[in-house]
Structure 1
Amino acid sequence: MMKQILPLLILLLLTIHARGDVLLIERVAAKDQVNLPQKSTTMNQVRTAFGDPLMMSEPVGNPPITRWEYADFVVYFEHQHVITTVLKKSKTTESGPRPKQ
């Protein structure tokens, strides 16, 4: 009996794992297609190109890291320069179907 269940269990796990990879690939591809602040861009350049952020955090830590939140993405700065930009999850990703466990 166990020999019959094991291949099905492995197939189920591989399917769940593959589904996660697809979602990750879709988000990376979406980030490449959206106009976002690039690494090393200054705060002034980001504000000129994207407008005022919806929310700005105070600098935290050493070196100081500041976060600016826009509708679709969040920009992280070290001192005055962008270190990374992160896309927010889309509504379909947040509320989309989840694999059964």
Structure 2
Amino acid sequence: MNTFKPVFTAIALAIVSVAVAPAARAGDTLLMQRVQQEKAMSLPQKGMSMADVERRFGAPTSKLDSRGGGSAKQPVINRWMYPGYIVYFERSHVIHTVLNTPAGNNTNPQSPK
């Protein structure tokens, strides 16, 4: 039986943990910066109606196709694009506003995920 294998595995895991830890902290820092940026911006707030959003922020650059609506448990989700952010509505009220980021996580919202 090879007694070096468990020791080698433990050492390898320790090295990987140390290497990944700074990346996790950097990701946390970027997320915190993004949250602070969102708080500083004037964005549509949860609960606002579509009419309120359009009156306060103007017409969106585009209104994307709605999703869902197949049942009461899957309400219609509407998405409006503005320069720099996307507003998500459940039926006709804001549920979330998301900043467009260079990270690539919402650069093509028209494609289903």
User: Identity over the aligned pairs, expressed in percent?
Assistant: 35
Q: Does 1:70 pair with 2:75?
A: no
> Where do 1:1-101 residues align within 5 Å?
9-62=16-69, 63-89=75-101
Which is higher, the Rg of structure 1 or of structure 2? 2
* CA shift for structure 1 position 72: 1.0
- Unaligned regions of 5+ residues in structure 2, if any? 1-7, 70-74, 105-113
Counterpart residue type for residue 50 of structure 1:
F
Aligned-CA RMSD value: 2.1
Deviation at 1:11, TM superposition (A): 2.7
State the TM-score, normalizing by the size of structure 2.
Answer: 0.70
User: Runs in 1 of length 4+ with deviation above 6 angstroms?
Assistant: 3-6
Q: Kindly provide the CA deviation profile for residues 40-76 of structure 1, in whole angstroms up to 9, marking residues without a partner as x.
A: 1011110011111011023221211110000111001
SS at match of 1:53: coil
**In 1, Cα distance between the equivalents of 2:77 and 2:14?**
48
Q: Which has the higher helix share?
A: 1
User: Please, which runs of 5 or more residues in structure 1 have no aligned partner?
Assistant: 95-101
